[in-house]
Chain A
Amino acid sequence: MIQFILNQKLISTETPSGENLLQFIREHQHLKGTKVGCREGDCGACTVLVGTLVNNAVEYRTVTSCLASLASVAGKHVVTVEGLNLSDGLNQAQQAIHDHSATQCGFCTPGFVVSMTSIIFDNPKQYQPDDAISGNICRCTGYKSIEKSVNQLDRILNKTEHSLSWYIQNRFIPEYFKEIPERLMLTRSDITPLKSDGMRSAGGTDVYVRSSDDLAEQNIQYLHEHNKIILTSEKVIIGAGVTVSQLWESDELIEILPLLRTHLRLISSKQIRNMATVAGNFVNASPIGDLSVLFLALNSELTIRNNSGSTRKLPLKSFFLDYKTIDLHPDELIETIEFEKPKSNFFYNFEKVSKRQYLDIASVNSAISFSFDKQILKNVNIAIGGVSAVPKYLTKTSEFLSDKKIDENLFREANDILQSEISPISDIRGTESYKRLLAKQLLFQHFLVFTQNMSA
């Protein structure tokens, strides 16, 4: 049985834990405010809030309910647009949309209302207000009115984190949110029965796109352990279940990799980042996996544990064997990914070009890390996606660049080696020749960003 609170209502259900949350909301609970636009995480019409009890308080995040399993909300608070409605008039997000005529056909609107309300749960030092709606598509308005609505909320919030009762008083969320922490403490958070032969899902943003129907009929293995980021004096150790948003929100990590948030902003949308895990990205093994490329360039190492409890370590660059083939046995799970904590004079950059800059899959992406000592490059690690069967660690190019004096020509010259290491194919993300050109350009872009950073 799975228990969770849906808006104000305690749900106890025997529905298989793999059932999709959107389906459950609309078809089992007949709450029709949450809309179906794509069932692939790409439109945001199905956005809901999921609140998790953490130290007696509830942390809310948006997710695309079309990709969420029931298992993933066990013991949590799920809030749909209906659960944001106030008894006497509009909440602030609704009011802002109304004030600026930011709804036309209205189909995307409930999703926007939920996403915009979620701004109150974001740390304003870490997020821009429009990050919250990065996963919401509107085909009618052209977004300008939506931008104005978001700005209106931003003005009211004044880039300050307020208390839950302030949000209630100021009409962001209804009164009943106050009781949720206490109610969640009384809610069962286990997912029983947990069958170990069920399909696996972590964030679900990969498996639910591919196999939602199959998952719906079974109790799944919900992988939600190992969700911490640990920094020691030597290492950065990231749990397999850490989400992209957790990376984003780790101020310690940002201190080491100052551009990381800009990089992560290029990955999917807020809703998806709230769900997507690092291990999911590796195991998905897409040749253009952004996190795979990011971590390859950090020369990372995986820790993998099997059913019997023994672990092994494996460099990430050895993990990807061939197209969608990885070095992972079915009875193994990834536990962590770690990399050496960079010392001073360290540079790290990630570049991604896609048809649409945000919420799109890369045509080509690339990441680089190196340290430098008086203009001499050391320990260069460069990785690239979209140009071979796997996310590619560029061994020869990395070697070529190492121990050389950094200048424009060096990066120009490195291109020949890079080109010899890649083997792009033409597909909907671009022709072979475009991807080769782009690979060259992104290599050069790394150099430009480095020089800009140095001069800044």
Chain B
Amino acid sequence: MEHTTKNKDSISHVRGTSIFVDDISEIRGTLQGLVFDSPVAHAHITSLDISDAERCTGVVKILTYNDIRGENQIGGIIQDEPLFAEKEIHFQGQAIALILAETLAEAKKAQKLIQLTYTELPVVTSVRQAHKNGRFTNASRTFRKNDAEKIFAKCDYVFEGQVFTNGQEHLYLETQGAYSVPLENGNIKIYSSTQGPTSVQKATAKVLGVPMHRLEVEVNRLGGGFGGKEDQATAWAAMAAVGTQITGRPVKLILDRHSDMRMTGKRHPYESDFKIGLDKNLKIKAYTATFYQNAGAAADLSPAVAERTLFHATNSYNIENVEVTVHSCKTNLPPNTAFRGFGGPQGMFVIEAAISKAAEALGVSAHKIQELNLLKDGDEFPYGQIASETLIQDTWNKAFTTFDIEKNIQQVADFNSKSKYFKKGYALMPITFGISFTNTPMNHARALVHIYQDGSVGISTGAVEMGQSVNTKMVLVATLTLGISPEKIKIETTNTTRVANTSPTAASATADLNGKAVEMACKILSNRLKTESARLLHLTDIKQISIKDNQVFVSEKLVEISWEELVLSAHLQRLSLTENAHYSTPEIHFDKSKEKGHPFAYHVYGTAFTVVSIDCIKGIYEIDSVKIVHDFGKSLSPALDFGQVEGALVQGIGWMTMEELLYNEKGRLLSNSLSGYKVPDIFSVPKIIEILPLETVGHKHAILKSKAVGEPPLMYGIGTYFALENAIKQFNPNYKHKFNSPLTPEKLLNALYDNHPNEF
């Protein structure tokens, strides 16, 4: 069954009537919050004088850690992150105080009068330095399969290398923000732009020193999240709530773009070392890698991100001997955090680099090595899960045949032999991405479904809508399960009083988890209504009853009972029209003491073929095409799923090309605005993006067999990096792989002329 469903919010989006946090009508008396943050990356605070600032017109209160009634602590996994700095500053942009004023203009004037004195401490921004100093945010981890070190000695070829992948700014178009409103009896309602309403509620309760039930967290939608609002939306919500707790007034806190970029963490930069061993048939026999993750000044989600790097360290390949280690290095950068792919992309880049290095040295095409080592059913991942329903080879083969890749490769070669100053390059990028939170206890969700007596339906889940169309998918699930039209279904805001103890909207798993819960609740309601139909029709068996198109059918024959009549009748029979269902992913488990288990409900597979062109005079490039065969399972909504692939791909390409995070040695972010940090615009995306769904039966743990799609396609973007390096080699035969991303025009031009055999 194929739907050409639209995003259910698309009408209000295009009309400008969708409401984001900053658009909520303010209650009279609302105070505006403005953060005062650290100008240096590492220091002892010697004094903080807010007295002049507090006397400014319009300023109601300036909050510091002294105003916190509970604990000054918002660390999620590890309790190492104060809301406001106390004695020490650990990164530039760390919050020190919150100015509350009648207007933002007044707050800005006061901000200039806050006086902070400090003694600076040595700043560490490099992971190697942090590693040397033994500074980590959390324990290092190692995944092991057999004995790689031993096998290297038996390999025909062994290659080693180093890799750098830079971080990435989320650049959700809507900056971070929250609006906190006092209710009676000290209760507070927080409107937050967060992927994790429960995280906000839990952390804020702790900061305020109140039980969780005193706080209601509501999320309408996000103007983009990409992981950046999984954990890092919490601080602003907590600060606003402290403001409300102290002043009794509503407090709005919206970060401007500069503050957002300066104060929040990003995708983790990684430095990595690899060693790869192959036999003469190009089978990868052994692989080791050490990942130095730049965690920043606090753990945040780094332990979980680090873990996923290990889970995806061998990408789509079966390797018999593996040892991969990750160190979460503590530096004086803002705490780095979740970003679409969640450490997976960093891990995959390194194995791709290792393969390219081997290919370069052996004079073969990287894709030959890739192809020879693809996973098959029955292969064991380094973390113990046995590959099943493996489709990587299928996507690879289909890409080769449908896109005629061999011919494309020949055309690239022909072009290069004729063109002097323009060159083309290509790369293949297979992906295998595991779906589930790798922290098994997080894989659950609930849905609360009300059928109102007029037949309209309201559904609450723990899923947060941030553009990925999860709410539209929830409507589809309910539509199909209840047999009614989508107009009858409303998806409510995500609110902790309706659905509690939720996992954040992350790990691509949200539609699966919440969708399954919606499906369960709707099934129960549907059965109850069928029973009611049976009563009305004097039938004993409900098996022959179905509900479709807002009508009751008996043995596929229409009977004269509409959905509305049936619902009203059930209501009058005093039947419950509300269900609350709970779903937790079956089968998954993982034992961290052994680093083995079966952590993923299933994997998503795909293969991308990328062709790029470079201008060897100016050192600029274009992406000619990215052609993808992707495993959607049985897509619930191809239009929406294709959008996820395109968006993720382009984000991945941005990460690999123009998005360059720059910190100086003092830990100051230099790429601190949209003019200094470039994300793809319409002219920089591939000229052609072709997406071909692999025809499959889907997976039983995927919602209605429609596989998760949010994160995996980001990693197709990695192909662009390797295609560019491939093109460089066509111009500069002396060029050796650098594995230093992003490959900006600067690096590209340098690569073209560095050590070039000819004079120019």
Q: Which of A's residues lie within 8 Å of B, judged by CB?
A: 30, 32-40, 42-43, 45, 80-82, 85, 90, 93-94, 97-98, 101, 103-110, 113, 130, 133-134, 136-147, 213, 216-217, 351, 353-361, 363, 412, 428, 430-431, 433-434, 437-438, 441-442, 444-445, 448
| CB-based contact A94/B14 at 8 Å | yes
If A97-B14, A355-B660 touch, whether A37 touches B646 (CB-CB below 8 Å) is no
Q: Is there contact, CB below 8 Å, between B676 and A428?
A: yes
Residues of chain A contacted by B18 (CB below 8 angstroms): 106
Cβ of B19 under 8 Å from chain A: yes
What CA separation (Å) do A100 and B257 show in the bound complex? 29
B640 partner residues in chain A, CB cutoff 8 A: 101
CA A445 to CA B619, docked complex, whole Å: 11
Query: Which of B70-78, B464-472, B591-599 lies at the interface?
Result: B464-472
Q: Are A139 and B683 neighbours in the complex by a CB distance under 8 Å?
A: no
CB pair A38 B257 closer than 8 Å: yes
- How long is the Cα–Cα vector from A168 to B542 in the complex, in angstroms? 55
Tell whether B174 is near chain A: CB-to-CB under 8 Å. Answer: yes
Are B674 and A144 touching (Cβ within 8 A)? Answer: no
Q: Which of A40, A109, A144 contacts B675 (CB 8 A)?
A: A40
A441 near B224: Cβ-Cβ < 8 Å: no
B674 touches A38 (CB 8 A): yes
- Pairs A–B under 8 Å by Cβ, sample size 28: A36-B175, A37-B174, A40-B257, A40-B673, A90-B11, A94-B14, A97-B10, A101-B640, A101-B643, A103-B10, A104-B469, A106-B223, A107-B172, A107-B467, A109-B16, A110-B16, A137-B681, A139-B647, A140-B173, A142-B649, A147-B682, A353-B745, A356-B678, A357-B683, A358-B681, A358-B683, A428-B662, A441-B619
Expressed in whole angstroms, the Cα–Cα distance for A137 and B224 within the complex equals 13
- A101 near B257 with CB under 8 A, answer no
Nearest A residue to B18 via CB reads A106
Measured in the bound complex, the distance between the Cα atoms of B671 and A428 in whole Å is 7
**Among the listed B662, B675, B749, B753, which residue makes an inter-chain contact with A361, where contact means beta carbons less than 8 Å apart?**
B675
Footprint of A on B, CB under 8 Å?
6-7, 9-20, 22-23, 25, 105, 108, 170-175, 221-224, 226, 256-257, 421, 466-469, 617-620, 639-640, 642-643, 646-651, 658, 660, 662, 670-671, 673-676, 678-685, 689, 744-746, 749-750, 753, 760
Q: Contact check, B746 vs A430: say whether CB atoms are below 8 A apart.
A: yes
Closest chain A CB from B190 CB (angstroms)? 20
A355 touches B649 (CB 8 A): no
From the candidates A105, A134, A140, A441, name the one contacting B683 in the complex (CB within 8 A): A134
The answer to whether B684 and A33 have CB atoms under 8 Å apart is no
Task: Give the docked Cα–Cα distance between A359 and B681 (Å).
Answer: 8
Ranked nearest first, the 10 interchain pairs of A and B with the lowest CB-CB distance are A33-B16, A105-B467, A107-B223, A106-B13, A104-B467, A142-B646, A81-B16, A142-B650, A42-B674, A94-B14
CB neighbours of A80 from chain B (8 A): 16
Residues of B within 8 A of A35 (CB): 20, 173-174, 223
Q: Hey, which chain B residues are within 8 Å of A144, CB to CB?
A: 646, 685, 689
Instruction: Give the CA-CA distance A213 to B650 in the complex, in Å.
Output: 35
Which residues of B have CB within 8 Å of A363? 745-746
Enumerate chain B residues within 8 angstroms of A110, measured Cβ to Cβ. 13-14, 16
User: In the complex, which residue of chain B has the Cβ closest to the Cβ of A37?
Assistant: B173
- Measured between beta carbons, the chain B residues less than 8 angstroms from A431 are 746
A109–B15 CA distance with the chains assembled, in angstroms: 9
Could you say which of A97, A113, A133, A354 contacts B682, with CB atoms under 8 Å apart? Answer: A133
A438 to B619, CA, bound (A): 8
- Chain A minimum-CB-distance residue to B105: A213
Determine the chain B residues whose CB is within 8 A of the CB of A37 once the complex forms: 173-175, 257, 674
Complex Cα–Cα for A43 and B677 (A)? 12
Could you say which residues of chain B place their CB within 8 Å of the CB of A136? Answer: 682
A389-B105 Cα distance, complex, nearest whole Å: 34
Given A101-B10, A106-B467, verify A139-B619 contact (CB < 8 Å): no
Residues of A within 8 Å of B670, CB to CB, are 428
Bound CA–CA A437/B671 (angstroms):
23
- Assuming A32-B23, A130-B682, is B618 touching A445 (CB within 8 A)? yes
Say whether A105 contacts B466, CB under 8 Å.
yes
Asked if residues A139 and B7 are in contact (CB atoms below 8 Å), the reply is no
Q: In the complex, what's the smallest C-beta–C-beta distance from A430 to chain B, in angstroms?
A: 5
